Amino acid sequence: MTTWVDPVYKIYDFIAAAAQMGFSYIEIKTDYPLTTLIPNEKFRIRIKQLLETFKVKPIVHAPYYDVNISSLNSKVRKASIESVIDSIKFAHDIGAKIVTLHPGNLPSDYSPSYYLENARAALKDSLFEIIKVASEYSVIIGLENKQKSKNHQIIWTPEDHLYFVEGLSSKWLKITYDVGHAFTVGNDVVSYFKKTHMYIVNLHIHDNHGESDEHLVPGSGNINFHELVDVLKKYNYGGPIILEVKSISGLQRAKVFMNSLGIF
């Protein structure tokens, strides 16, 4: 599961709810307002204590609002990297082994034929810096594929994903595969998994109708989760599966649906 749900649901309560619903993982987003609490040592200690008490394993999602590690503006890129590094340190402090990271984007006003390679180069440079810190804290970066949007996203396809993960070739850089995102840009979600499975350390599950990033309960859109689950079992995927839906009731329905397919 994830902290994607209703933002009024306090993180302390959400950890307890995760345990009560039988989830073994929770992915904690570090955007505002959580960002303001991360420097507080008492907060970090309390989070770790609750996770240990309820026996829920944490994953951390690096901030992505106003963050762009592919930015062509060096000052923006530097600040974005610093924000990601804060989330790596937070992950270490609460016992998380994986940090999910968005790759950034090239704004729609920039022509991709002229500037996309510059953004890809900026992302590679950023990842090199981030991986160095991640290795110091023994935290794996799960680089996530992105959804259809007006901006030019840097990672849309399995080939995009492999370009960075294999190009940088670090045990600290792996893949967070977002199934819903992949579907919005026309990828075959099963084929995507097959091509990248050897690097996947985290899986994001939600549904949509193929046009936008709706974050629907699985089974409510057009993604064929039966085929996806079959391939997960065939390849013996044993990593975290995070349900990214918008409410507690949605999480409960999503769990029931995934249970019916033999997951959780």
- Segment-wise mean pLDDT, segments of 10 residues, the chain, 264 residues: 63 91 94 88 95 97 97 98 98 98 96 95 98 98 97 97 98 98 98 98 98 97 98 97 92 96 91
DSSP helix/strand/coil, 80: helix
Range 48-85 burial, b when 16+ CB lie within 10 A, else e: eebbeeeebbbbbbbbbeebbbbbeeeebbeebbebbb
**Whole-number pLDDT of residue 171:** 98
Phi, psi of 204 (to 5 degrees): -100, 125
**Whole-number pLDDT of residue 247:** 87
The pTM is what? 0.96
**Whole-number pLDDT of residue 52:** 97
Which CATH class, in words, describes the domain spanning 11-260? alpha beta
**Whole-number pLDDT of residue 167:** 97
The span from the CA of 52 to the CA of 46, in Å, is: 10
Determine the straight-line distance between the first and last CA of the chain, rounded to whole angstroms. Answer: 11
Q: How deeply is 250 buried, as exposed, middle or buried, from its count of CB atoms within 10 A (0-12, 13-18, 19+)?
A: buried
**Whole-number pLDDT of residue 6:** 55
**Whole-number pLDDT of residue 4:** 54
Residues forming beta bridges with residue 89, ordered by sequence position: none
